[in-house]
Copies of this chain bind each other. A is one copy, B any other.
Amino acid sequence: MLIARVIGTLVSTQKEPTIEGLRLLVCQPLNAEGEKVGAAVIAADAVGAGVGEVILFATGSSARQTVATQNRPVDAVVMAIVDHWEVAGKTKYRKSDD
């Protein structure tokens, strides 16, 4: 999985019927220091994540292992909201400080 910040939302009316009702989030991947890395990915939301939150997303067939995304043409899913992470004993992010 990759850490990312939800930076926005995307809306589509004309789409595969099976993805009806899925929220689509614009996710900016972050490295372990919390810095932006690479281009944004659009992921389906499986956990009720909001804009501004730091989340984990899974890609590939693993993105279809949630109730929200099963058997749907979705290759990225937000499957966790991050509380905190630490590297070498130092907290790099804490949701309550965000």
* Interface residue ranges, A against B (CB under 8 Å): 1-3, 7-16, 18-19, 24, 26, 28-29, 31-32, 37-43, 46-48, 51, 56, 58-66, 69, 71-77, 79-88, 92
Nearest CB in chain B: distance from A87 CB, A: 4
CA distance A77 to B19 in the complex (A): 13
CB neighbours (8 Å) of A10 from chain B are 3, 56, 82, 84-85
CA distance A18 to B58 in the complex (A): 13
Question: Which of A63, A75, A76 gathers the greatest number of chain B CB atoms within 10 Å?
Answer: A75
Inter-subunit contact A62/B74 (CB<8 Å): yes
Known A11-B85, A79-B15, A83-B11; contact A63-B62, beta-carbon cutoff 8 A: yes
- 14 extra interface residue pairs, beta carbon distance < 8 Å, beyond A26-B32, A58-B73, A63-B75: A2-B41, A3-B10, A8-B92, A9-B86, A12-B82, A13-B83, A16-B47, A26-B85, A29-B39, A32-B39, A51-B88, A62-B64, A64-B65, A65-B74
